[in-house]
Amino acid sequence: MPKMRYAVLKLGDVLEFVEMPADHVYQLTALNRRLHKELDKLTAANVPNLPHVVAECDTLDIVDNACPVVHGLEYVNGLEQAFASLDEKSYPLISLLTEIRALQAQLEQWYEEDEEYGS
């Protein structure tokens, strides 16, 4: 069984857990920090509210179903859709979308290989 790791995200008082391959969680954390640095530069009306990654952990025991566990690829796909839909005129989104899509492609490949080899 592949080693999974969790990113703990917080938006306001809501927590969300993203489950990803252990080797890729740090990339989500770095991407999250980069996106937060750039959010203030965006001028589009529909800039997404982006949670902060507040922790990473190896194991997770959920005792309250109010805190969802989200599949890593599902989370990154949603992130890509949110930023791709921005009608941004003043700030070039190309670099942000490139970073999101790079992680998206890595995860797609990881999950395909994992399924292929039955790990």
- Give the pLDDT of the chain (119 residues) as one tens digit per residue: 568 999 999 999 999 999 999 999 999 999 999 999 999 888 888 899 999 999 999 999 888 877 889 999 999 999 999 999 998 877 778 889 999 999 999 999 998 988 777 65
Joined together, the tokens standing for residue 6 give 């969790």
Orientation angle between helical segments 72-84 and 25-39, nearest 10 degrees:
20
The SS3 call for residue 113 is: helix
Count the domains in the chain.
1
What global pTM score does this model have? 0.90
Orientation angle between helical segments 94-117 and 72-84, nearest 10 degrees:
150
Joined together, the tokens standing for residue 42 give 């965006």
What domain range includes position 40?
4-117
